[in-house]
A and B are shown apart, each in its own frame.
Chain A
């Protein structure tokens, strides 16, 4: 069964304190692993697509990496504006939908 598990559920950081969010997945035939950011009351905002193990992508203070079983979202020197829920997803086996994890809610205080 296609499945995505994210940890931790919640993460509190001080401004400048780097950390990582984890996304473990089980799917037959990976068709991309997707990271989204969601602010309260808004729809998910696309961040990255990772296609194969070993791939890395960066955007500002965020860096996403992928292995055969999990993905990490590394946050370097976070700022309060990075506070949001980060969602990880994979395409289902049929390729017709995204299977989402429950997300990690990040709070960054100054």
Chain B
């Protein structure tokens, strides 16, 4: 079956512009996660959705970052007024409900802020 998909695969933007990153989770997965991977930093959690609700937004680094999920499926991560330090790979993952269930990751969106 289809895995997690993300678009675009690459995004180059200028400092101060807004960007939107999209994630299509595996069909039927109720949980969706966004992570960020920077060189030398490893994978950092950003936000967790259960259905359309986000009970844990603790990883969002500033109020320039926001995310939404609609129809219990597609999610969009928006970064406003991008800064150079926002350059990273943004990864989306999904899982079925349950504490121990593994998360399946998409290929990521590489964001470069000039």
Contact = CB atoms under 8 A, between A and B. Distances in A.
Contacts of B4: 43
Given A43-B93, A44-B91, A49-B102, 18 more contacts: A31-B100, A32-B99, A36-B105, A44-B43, A45-B105, A46-B104, A51-B100, A91-B99, A91-B100, A95-B99, A96-B55, A97-B59, A98-B35, A98-B43, A98-B103, A99-B45, A100-B43, A103-B42
Contact of A46 (B45, B91, B102): B102
B105 A44 contact: yes
Interface of B: 4, 33, 35, 40-43, 45, 48, 55-56, 59, 91, 93, 99-100, 102-108
Interface of A: 31-32, 34, 36, 42-46, 49, 51, 87, 89, 91-92, 94-103
Contacts, number: 56
Contacts of A87: 43
A15 to B, nearest CB: 28
Contacts of A91: 99-100
Main SS at interface, chain A: loop
B77 to A, nearest CB: 15
Contact of A94 (B56, B104, B106): B56
Task: Please provide the 6 A-B residue pairs with the shortest distance between their CB atoms, ordered closest to farther.
Answer: A43-B105, A96-B56, A97-B45, A100-B43, A102-B42, A32-B100
15 contacts: A31-B99, A32-B99, A32-B100, A32-B102, A34-B102, A42-B107, A43-B93, A43-B106, A46-B104, A49-B100, A87-B43, A97-B59, A98-B43, A100-B43, A102-B41
Nearest to A99: B45
A97 B107 CA distance: 18
